[in-house]
Amino acid sequence: MSIVARCAHAVLVVAAVVPLAGGCATTWITTQVAGSPHLWDEDIREESVPLPGFTEQLVVGLPLGGAADDTTGATGATGANHPTEPVRFAVACTSQQRARDVVYHQAFRYGRHWKKQAALATLLEGLLATAFVVSAGDDEIGRQAAGVYFGVDALVTAGLMLLPRKEIYRRDERPMTTPFRTDCPDGLVLEIGSERFPVDAAGHIGERGEVLLDDWMATPSGSLRALLGDGAAELVVSAEERCAWASQHHADQPLSCSFGASRPTVATTILTVAPGTLTRAPVGYLAP
């Protein structure tokens, strides 16, 4: 094999090895390019301070299973199946607060821990480079390339030990979500087409509501919305989700649709309401 051919082969092998090797210098360069230098922070201290104001949200889930005539089996001591109570359809509700926190971040970068780890990585990569080069034969381009890669990475890592210690101060804002109840609030209404059905605390909409919802799933007509006070949010139910509903509620009928590899289990929407609607707290209250 000519020298030019060997060099070309070595370049290709190194290009394949570098993304997988994960050398210290290579990893450091990758974090800089990716905009994630904070991964090297040491001695981190963070303080969170809530910002004034919050919003309240109601997450409304429409289960795609649990037909009104479903029954579950319970196995007794004799091994026989005993039917239990039918599983009733019920809307799932989760009330939550959405707020923002200011996070004050203090840390050090390239301190004593960094220098110790970089020194150890330099030693290990140097030994690894030597082992690859010494054990490589004339035609073992892969081992030669790996030895060159780890040798270069070790040299760059040795240089990274000289980076000056840096103190980091940063102010970030982070969204905070706090769920606080799972029953459906008073006044929640499910609008199916042109008719509205109140939702009780357990999520039930009554037998007529369940019948109309089943008809809507078969032939969507009009709106399907969750209403609470002045707020409204549409429940967008995809074709796959309607198919999953049909497979669960009409298992005795052949399906003319498909829901893909994974069966959808719930269709959801989020209602944003005025502060205090769900918590009954004063508007000036600050979320924790």
What is the value of pTM for the model shown?
Answer: 0.61
Confidence of residue 16 (pLDDT cuts 50, 70, 90): very low
Q: Please provide the size of the chain in residues.
A: 288
pLDDT at 90: 92
Question: For residue 196, what pLDDT is reported?
Answer: 94
Going by C-alpha positions, the residue among 266, 204, 262, 276 that lies closest to residue 59 is 266
Predicted local distance difference test score (pLDDT) of residue 23: 76
Least confident of 15-24, 157-166, 213-222: 15-24
pLDDT bin (cut points 50, 70, 90) of residue 130 is confident
Q: How confident is the model at residue 121 (pLDDT cuts 50, 70, 90)?
A: confident
Can you give the pLDDT at residue 47? 92
pLDDT of res. 210: 93
Residue 196 has, within 13 A of its CA and on its CB side, a CA count of: 9
Q: Is 49 within 8 Å of 231 (Cβ atoms)?
A: no
Is residue 57 within 8 Å of residue 273, measured between CB atoms? yes
Q: What is the pLDDT of residue 67?
A: 42
* Residue 179: per-residue pLDDT: 92
